[in-house]
Amino acid sequence: MTRPLYHPFRQRLISPQRGDPSSLVEAVPGVLGHVYARRGIKDPLELDRSLGCLPEPFKLKGMLMMCTLLEAAIRDRQRVLVIGDYDADGATATAVALQGLRLLGLEFIDYLVPNRFQYGYGLTPEIVELAKTYQPDILLTVDNGISSHEGIDAAKEAGLKVLITDHHLPGETLPKADAIVNPHLPDDSFPSKALAGVGVMFYVLLGLRQQLRKNHFFEQGVIREPPLGILLDLVALGTVADVVPLDWVNRILVHQGLERIRKGLARPGIRALLQGSKRKEPSIRASDLGFQIGPRLNAAGRLDDMSVGIECLLATDVEKARELAQTLEQLNQERKDIEEGMRQDALRHLDPLMALESQRPIVCLFDPAWHQGVVGILASRIKDRLHRPVIAFAINDLDPNQLKGSARSVTGIHIRDILADVATRYPGLIDRFGGHAMAAGLGLQKDHLERFTLAMEEEIHKRMPDFSLEPQLETDGVLAPRDFSIALAERLEAGGPWGQGFSEPLFEGVFRIASCRIVGENHLKLVLRPDDSDHVVDAIAFRVETPEAWQEGTQIQAAYRLEVNEFRSVRTPQLLIEYMMTLN
């Protein structure tokens, strides 16, 4: 009889070395100090999350030209059209651009987020034609544009200035824009390469305000110097939702945004989205932005029109914000229903596939019935199940002979670089691509799918012949029973924000199940006794595939997070189980 596993495969838990990792432990004693050290923190100054620690905006290459052109737009009353993107990062970046530039004195500004199913991604020539109907002087891209060579050429031919703010990796040549701010530009000296699109746009506003101040703009009495910190709730949401690494700069931005939300200072749209997800503002966490608010906002771009999400973020009227948030809630539920059907269908194809080829380094999936707006989430779900890169494809609504793919990868496989190498080695195989280490998008002809799959497998084997597909969980070690306390749980929570590249503390241990019961449909409520201890602690495991298989008295190995559970105003420590397996 196979031993029960919580999560579909056995995982190897990698424990840390528990010596004195650095002098950091002296400044931050105890468990939290060891957690920080394992995440590469060497200096307590890196834990300072005040805005004064943010790097200078003009360290970003292209910032001076960007601010010069935007200052001229303000002074000369030029018309700016923001070209956004259809995900949460693009939506928040669009909202930050509109509100921020208005605060800095720009009178004429509007936005355009083209329907992804009609126009595709980025500043295409077709989008430029649509943009011209707004009669702008300047096109300002947010969270896109760095790969839009043809569209930018079309805009320049039409006599428009083009300003690019983006964070995606550039290709071998840069587009011929009037100004580009992107931390990934060659020779860029900005210390963070992890800014999201919304973070780049926020930094442009910081630089512009600094330049306007230097040029005595605010002394002229037209407007007062604005507090740009009021935009940080948007910056935090877009940064977390885009799953960029939370380096020091991003931790500052996210922390400051969360603090505004916790103090009740968030804009009506974000407050309405929080209420819809039943999250309380005073206790909001970064993970709530990523797993609750972000998906609701993304649902508009995946299934309908992201302008619904942007209007929700821009709303100043509470009732209007609630109406738009309810629309997003409905779209998100529709997205969930579509995704679940696609996931079940994909798993039926996968089970025999993986049984035959368990060491296949990447999985490419396609079904003509799949919705192109949801393939990214599908790829992410299957990637988590198989622990290998997954690319899910759907028919491009604009061309039935072309596929639109969304890739999700695992640590150690830079999916965007692999796509670039395949595109170089096999010219014409991929029509277009772009993205990051962990996520990318691409387009290719339907009859190229088989050759593309073989080329991707070949490239991964070539780059990483010894790469292990064995699922692994890196933990922060074992907690003593005395550490199962509200005080430590609160300290760990306050030590964030935690997220991509700065993972929330995860611990491991061997326990005996003192009691267990099924709650809801498939959640497991447990009382655990640490091995060789009389201490007991509450625990919960969500969405257990076979909850009835777990029995009182069973010895288990578990990986868990320590949190505070509040029920009927009673607060107790609780272990949130991420993985467990029986040992007897």
Total residues found in the chain within this entry: 584
What letter does residue 270 receive in the DSSP assignment? H
Domains and CATH numbers, the chain: 5-43+475-582 (2.40.50.460), 60-328 (3.90.1640.30), 357-469 (3.10.310.30)
| DSSP per-residue string spanning 276-316 | HTT--GGG--HHHIIIIIHHHHHHHHHHS-THHHHHHHH--
251 sits in which H/E element: helix 248-262
**Residues forming a β-bridge with 499:** 502
161: which residues sit within 8 A by CB, 6+ positions away? 69, 137, 138, 139, 178
Provide the pLDDT for residue 172.
86
* Pick from 197, 262, 196, 253: nearest CA to 229: 253
**Separation between Cα atoms, residue 65 and residue 264, nearest integer Å:** 37
Specify the higher pLDDT residue, 301 or 277.
277
313: which residues sit within 8 A by CB, 6+ positions away? 91, 92, 95, 234, 267, 269, 270, 297
Provide the pLDDT for residue 2.
42
**Separation between Cα atoms, residue 580 and residue 577, nearest integer Å:** 7
Kindly report which listed range (408-412, 454-458, 539-543, 560-564) carries the lowest average pLDDT score.
408-412
7: which residues sit within 8 A by CB, 6+ positions away? 578, 579
**Mind listing the pLDDT tens digit for each residue in 464-483?**
777 666 777 889 999 999 99
The CA-atom distances, in angstroms, between 341 and each of 13, 346, 382, 386 are 32, 9, 13, 18
| DSSP per-residue string spanning 204-229 | HHHHHHHHHHHTTSGGGSSSPPP-GG
Mean pLDDT of 101-119: 87
Provide the pLDDT for residue 264.
94
Mean pLDDT of 155-168: 96
Contact present, 543 and 522 (Cβ < 8 Å): yes
Secondary structure of residue 540 in the 3-state scheme: strand
Residue 115: pLDDT band with limits 50, 70, 90? confident
- Pair of tokens at residue 131: 């943009």
Residue 413: pLDDT band with limits 50, 70, 90? confident
* Pick from 300, 242, 286: nearest CA to 436: 242
Q: What is the pTM of this model?
A: 0.87
Q: Above 90 in pLDDT, residue 286?
A: yes
Neighbouring CB atoms inside 10 A of 468's CB total 11
